[in-house]
Chain A
């Protein structure tokens, strides 16, 4: 059973387009994290959301935590080729458990 369901799993878009990645669960989390991973490297933490309804922005990336703290979304505005990578949501219960991941390809 996958505790964190991410969608879509694969996304290929043109430079300049907007996109949203979703992370859903039936469980309530005290916090959720988003990571980005490039091929052959370890994941890098982008953000941690803690409060229900919280919105955090990181340049062109906007992260939202659902009011019920069961889901989260990542929205990228005007995607660039450098945004290409694997995006992962995760929750930490003493050990970090990842969602299925969303592979994003941004074509120039």
Chain B
């Protein structure tokens, strides 16, 4: 079964609204989670590193005020796309790792469509 779960799997929202995507680690604690964005037929682009109890670390070119990340517990990180626009439509994937096994697990991904 999945060890990292994302919700929702897909969401449609109107331009200008905000949408939240959740990433949960199941059966393990993740002090660090990662958020990726993927456009069709393209690779995964790392957006930010989510750190439990502290601010997220954003990759160059990613607007931190637009993509709000909160990692309030050891099993949950959320990505909020604020004031969404059609160009934000994409596949968003999170991942989490366990320090003990040095293994990274990916969520199932969340399709966001902004209309």
Contact = CB atoms under 8 A, between A and B. Distances in A.
Contacts, number: 42
Q: Determine chain A's interface SS by DSSP, over half rule.
A: strand
Contacts of A44: 106
Interface of A: 10, 40-45, 86, 88, 92, 95-101, 103
Contacts of B93: 42-43
A40 B104 contact: no
A42 B46 contact: no
Given A40-B109, A42-B106, A42-B108, A96 B95 contact: yes
Given A40-B91, A42-B95, A98 B43 contact: yes
A42 B109 contact: yes
Q: Which 4 A-B residue pairings sit nearest by Cβ, starting from the closest?
A: A42-B106, A101-B43, A98-B43, A98-B44
